[in-house]
Structure 1
Amino acid sequence: MKKSVLALAASLCLFASTSNAKTIVDIAGGDERFSTLVAAVQAAGLQDALQGPGPFTVFAPVNDAFAALPEGTVETLLKPENKDQLTNVLLYHVDDRKLTSSNIPVGSNYFKPLLTSERTCITRSGDGVQIADGSGASANVIIADIQAENGVIHVIDKVLLPGDRPACH
């Protein structure tokens, strides 16, 4: 736990010094840990929207989160004929408000992402922040509150997927 807290603090210091005048897209594009996410945003044609004035909160999966999906999933989603499905997955990771970790209430609460047909359940506790998706799985926020000029990024360890399971249990 101490090791992850130290890594989090080091990451926040790094981002605090570099992110003040950058958009969410600029920050993600400048960090190799988000190369799969950036490729997906480009394939979906969402980069211009996410460079807009916002505010946005992006729950940004790292490359390892995409790699943990079933084999071939990312490649399939990146095909032009699957742009709508890719767009839905990506919009499931974005809120149209600036939700810093201090703005997330303690306990479990439903949130409406830009994919308005779906909900996520964000739980904030002493153990951190978790996001339950429609597949019944949860992602952990591993780095919180990376500030951008048009919002905030929370780095997560799983790709959130829409589905038919209720997000809050």
Structure 2
Amino acid sequence: MKTFLATTALIITAAAAHAENPMVGGAEMFADQPIAANASNAPNLTTLVAAAKQAGLVDTLASDGPFTVFAPTDDAFGMISEKSLMALMADNNKAQLAQILTCHVVAAEAFSTDIAGMIADDGGAHDVPTVGGCTLSAYMQGGKLKLKDENGRVATVTIADVDQSNGVVHVIDRVLLPAGQAG
């Protein structure tokens, strides 16, 4: 009987966790779908999705992972001048675009509690190496998870822990850039 109750409790807990997956841009996010599929459904991630397509990263974000993606919103991309963004999306700048986007991707699954634990263990800030070769600095400020890029630009996680079949997404309010790039 105890085993049955424990198994039932685990199933109920798993179902509740799935039901509580945050919505992004008003769209439901499904924990059994990969990052690429869920991002394509979020109306506030259209620039990110277009950039990932242009950079040839959609198949990667649909693969097994695990990945942690810090996903800038359309408003975050809107902080970049239209001229700079159009230049970045040009065919001759695919490598630069891919590097910028992969500086938002970590080759591991890290939920916000994991990141907060690493920050605490490291005395207030934790270096986060990305797939794109950038190192972000994660820290907590005012109860919010923040990321600082190598240029000193700071993004705040606005929606944390969007569970995906191949990792987790944290929505952020600013595009982070590799060292030496301005935006």
Tell me if both proteins adopt one fold, taking TM over 0.5 as the criterion.
yes
One of 101, 111, 131 as aligned partner of 1:114: 131
Question: 1:21-64 deviations in whole A, cap 9, x for unaligned?
Answer: 11001110001100000000000000001100000000000000
CA contact (8 A) 2:21 2:31 kept: no
Bigger mean CA deviation after superposition, 15-24 or 102-111: 15-24
Residue matched to 1:6: none
Secondary structure at the aligned position of 1:102 is classed as helix
CA contact (8 A) 1:25 1:51 kept: yes
Distance in 2 (CA, whole Å) between partners of 1:109 and 1:71 is 33
Residue matched to 2:161: 145
Distance in 1 (CA, whole Å) between partners of 2:63 and 2:21 is 23
Give ranges in structure 2 of 5+ residues lacking alignment.
1-19
Bigger mean CA deviation after superposition, 74-83 or 14-23: 14-23
Offset, 1:72? 1.2
Superposition misfits of 4+ residues, deviation over 3 angstroms: 11-18
Distance in 2 (CA, whole Å) between partners of 1:13 and 1:148 is 11
Q: Percent identity?
A: 36
Q: Which has the larger radius of gyration?
A: 2
Offset, 1:18? 3.8
Residue matched to 1:79: 90
Offset, 1:17? 6.1
Structure 2 vs 1, CA of residues 136 and 18 (structure 1 numbering), >3 Å: closer, same or farther? closer
Distance in 2 (CA, whole Å) between partners of 1:13 and 1:50 is 19
Structure 2 vs 1, CA of residues 72 and 146 (structure 1 numbering), >3 Å: closer, same or farther? same
Which amino acid letter does the alignment assign opposite residue 81 of structure 1?
N
Residue matched to 2:105: 94
Secondary structure at the aligned position of 1:146 is classed as strand
One of 105, 112, 133 as aligned partner of 2:149: 133
TM-score (norm 1): 0.85
Secondary structure at the aligned position of 2:36 is classed as helix
Which amino acid letter does the alignment assign opposite residue 155 of structure 2?
A
Distance in 1 (CA, whole Å) between partners of 2:35 and 2:159 is 14
Q: CA RMSD in A?
A: 1.9
Give ranges in structure 1 of 5+ residues lacking alignment.
1-10
CA contact (8 A) 2:22 2:162 kept: no
Question: 1:98-144 deviations in whole A, cap 9, x for unaligned?
Answer: 0100111232111100012x211011355210000012110000000
What are the within-5 Å matches in structure 2 for residues 1-169 of structure 1? 12-14=21-23, 18-104=29-115, 105=118, 106=120, 107-116=124-133, 118-125=134-141, 127-164=143-180
CA contact (8 A) 1:12 1:143 kept: no
Number of residue pairs matched by the alignment: 154
